[in-house]
Amino acid sequence: MTEAMAGLLQGFVIALQPHNLFYCFVGVAMGTLVGVLPGLGPSVTIAMLLPVTFGLEPVSAIIMLSGICYGAMYGGSTTSILLKIPGEASSVLTCLDGYQMARKGRAGPALGISAFGSFIAGTFSVAGLTVVAPVLGDFALRFGPPEYFSLMIMAMTVVVYLSRKSMIKSLMMALAGLILGCVGMDPMTAEPRFTFGRMELGEGLGLVPVVVGLFGLSEVLRNLGSGSKLEVIPAKIKALFPNREDWKRSAGPIGRGTLLGFFLGILPGVGTIVPQFLSYALERRLSKRSEFFGSGEIEGVAGPEACNNAAMGGTFIPLFSLGIPSNAMTAMLLGALMVYGLRPGPTLINDSPDLFWGVIASMYVGNALLLVLNLPLIPFWASLIRVPYVYLSSFIVIFCLIGTYCLNNSVVDMYIAVLFGLIGLLMSKFGYEPAPLVLAFVLGPMIETALRRSLVLGDGNFTLFFERPLSAVFLAAAVLFLVLPLFKRRVSEGLGAED
């Protein structure tokens, strides 16, 4: 504990240096911006800005990129409340009661409680990250290749299990991601695989062109010609500070949402979307006015908003201490760390303490900055939503392509981004989700290396994965997540027959 406190103090010395403070500000402002603007997510923003950060020190770069992640959580609520369009997937439920509050002339308190709740939850989860990450990191030092392999498989199956669409299709996407992630030189024999004689593919497909294509370009292609006009809730937003009654009603939901989000966020693969749904369901169940949920109850805004911010902090724990991303956003951050030659995982805290503690301390600063930045600037963010998508989409395309080009000064990367833009469009048309693909794409090379090392270690014996207790637990959980939906279907079919 004292070590953690000493590390954190050192982290504050780093995070409060003027240039790091500036990059933290840029990160959270960019995060809020992309959270506010529908159609431009934090994963694409990190991908686009990654080349821009090459001239920076790794600490400053990661401070800025993580600022984008948690800043987007704050920004996402603005569009949900004012437009009924979630700027971010993790703000979906804020639409229900937030928008209704805005229609009743209470946009201010909705935005205010969302910002305060996010601040409280965000700060709590960073405090949790400070305490839990080093402990988990120490524990993970005992992991060998079999444990890592099983843990990564479990993370992938959790993402597949939690997919919003067909589970089989999500599993297929995870396998496709695994295949695409392993393209390039063989990690053991350096033999080129699926490179088709192209030198550029020797290092594998780049994460940036793949993410930019799947999430950025495909979204623009999908919305071409939609030309929908957005109905923005009125011009003047008054009284951002919630009153005493609002606070009284919101305190419980914020507390429960924070705890729920944080602990679920820690679990590899859970991410930020599912906890928010659970928080909303919980608040509705606990409320004495549950029948009014969906018509402008402040609990329906406070709980989910606190929950998604706490979950975001929670997802940093498996990322930093195990090297396992929980969603596309943290997968992108993992990719960024690797670009800087850093290896996220149990050794990160010991190998790069300045980076680890600097980034954590910057999150405390960033959360405070977001509160200060968001409350007075809400009218400004709201005015940005009025920029017609016709103009916005063209800029998104150019930023996506230039960001991809800057990575290696290679037009091949731009072609790959466009190709994945088309693939992403077709995937959405055929009902396939991109998130499991991206996660497996990032984990692919690690899974392959862990699997092959394990097999060499066990002399080709697959029972090794079940003989080691932790590995067996992870694999059992993975099997459970795959089999559970079958039982659930049987049960619901049985109940249907009885009815």
Partner 1 sequence: MPKIRNLDRWGALAWMVFAVFIASQAWALGLGTRSAPGPGMVFWGSAIILFFLSCLVLLRKPDPHLAEEMSSPIPWGKVISVLAALGLYIAFFEIAGFLVSTGLLMVVLLYLAGATSRVRILTVALGGTFCIYLLFHVWLKIRLPGGILSILP
Question: Does position 499 bind partner 1 by CB under 8 A?
Answer: no
Reading the block at residue 297, the tokens are: 């109850």
Supply the DSSP symbol for 296. S
DSSP string, 282-350: HHHHH-TTGGGTTSS-THHHHHHHHHHHHHHHHHHHHHHHH---SSHHHHHHHHHHHHTT---STTHHH
Out of 406, 472, 473, 482, the only residue in the binding site for partner 1 (CB under 8 A) is 406
CB of 67 to partner 1, least distance (A): 17
Question: Does position 394 bind partner 1 by CB under 8 A?
Answer: yes
Supply the DSSP symbol for 213. I
Q: Give me the numbers of helices (H) and strands (E) for the chain, helices first please.
A: 21, 2
Out of 135, 390, 479, 480, the only residue in the binding site for partner 1 (CB under 8 A) is 390
CB of 284 to partner 1, least distance (A): 24
CB of 315 to partner 1, least distance (A): 25
Phi, psi of 229 (to 5 degrees): -90, 135
Phi, psi of 184 (to 5 degrees): 120, -165
CB of 485 to partner 1, least distance (A): 13
CB of 47 to partner 1, least distance (A): 15
Of 2 and 463, the one with the shorter C-beta distance to partner 1 is 463
Cα dihedral 111→85→389→312 (10° resolution): 70
Out of 141, 224, 476, 486, the only residue in the binding site for partner 1 (CB under 8 A) is 224
DSSP H or E stretch at residue 179: helix 167-181
Relative orientation angle of helices 58-83 and 328-339, to the nearest 10 degrees: 160
Of 47 and 178, the one with the shorter C-beta distance to partner 1 is 178
CA torsion sign, 423 to 424 to 425 to 430? positive
Question: Does position 64 bind partner 1 by CB under 8 A?
Answer: no
Cβ-contact 42, 333 below 8 angstroms: no
Question: Does position 486 bind partner 1 by CB under 8 A?
Answer: no
- Cα–Cα distance, 387 to 160 (Å, whole number): 36
- Of 104-112, 137-145, 369-377, 418-426, which segment contacts partner 1 by CB under 8 A? 418-426
Out of 18, 227, 376, 469, the only residue in the binding site for partner 1 (CB under 8 A) is 227
The residues, any chain, with a CB within 8 Å of residue 133's CB and separated by 6 or more, are 316, 317, 320, 321, 349, 356, 360
| Site pattern 138..177 for partner 1 (x: CB under 8 A) | ---------------------------xx-xx-xx--xx-
Of 103 and 452, the one with the shorter C-beta distance to partner 1 is 452
Q: How buried is residue 27: exposed, middle or buried, by Cβ count under 10 Å (0-12/13-18/19+)?
A: buried
Interactions with partner 1, residue window 445-474 (CB under 8 A): 447-448, 451-452, 455-456, 459-462
Helix, coil or strand: residue 88: coil
Phi, psi of 31 (to 5 degrees): -60, -45
CB of 432 to partner 1, least distance (A): 7
Of 178 and 373, the one with the shorter C-beta distance to partner 1 is 178
- Cα–Cα distance, 252 to 244 (Å, whole number): 14
- Of 87-95, 118-126, 411-419, 466-474, which segment contacts partner 1 by CB under 8 A? 411-419
DSSP H or E stretch at residue 449: helix 435-457
CB of 159 to partner 1, least distance (A): 16
Of 36 and 414, the one with the shorter C-beta distance to partner 1 is 414
Question: Does position 17 bind partner 1 by CB under 8 A?
Answer: no
Cβ-contact 447, 180 below 8 angstroms: no
Question: Does position 248 bind partner 1 by CB under 8 A?
Answer: no
DSSP H or E stretch at residue 185: strand 184-185
CB of 91 to partner 1, least distance (A): 20
Of 35 and 181, the one with the shorter C-beta distance to partner 1 is 181
Question: Does position 483 bind partner 1 by CB under 8 A?
Answer: no
Question: Does position 496 bind partner 1 by CB under 8 A?
Answer: no
Interactions with partner 1, residue window 194-213 (CB under 8 A): 194
- C-alpha 149 chain-centroid distance: 22
Question: Does position 239 bind partner 1 by CB under 8 A?
Answer: no
Of 182 and 359, the one with the shorter C-beta distance to partner 1 is 182
CB of 203 to partner 1, least distance (A): 15
- Cα–Cα distance, 431 to 425 (Å, whole number): 10
Out of 182, 205, 349, 446, the only residue in the binding site for partner 1 (CB under 8 A) is 182
Question: Does position 425 bind partner 1 by CB under 8 A?
Answer: yes
CA angle 411, 413, 415 (to 5 degrees): 75
Cβ-contact 23, 64 below 8 angstroms: yes
Looking at 117-163, which runs of residues are DSSP E strands? none
Phi, psi of 88 (to 5 degrees): -130, 150
Of 172 and 377, the one with the shorter C-beta distance to partner 1 is 172
Which residues are at the interface with partner 1 (CB under 8 A)?
51-52, 55, 165-166, 168-169, 171-172, 175-176, 178-179, 182, 186, 188-189, 191, 193-194, 220-222, 224-225, 227, 389-391, 393-395, 397-399, 401-402, 405-406, 409, 411, 414-415, 418, 421-422, 425, 428-432, 444, 447-448, 451-452, 455-456, 459-462
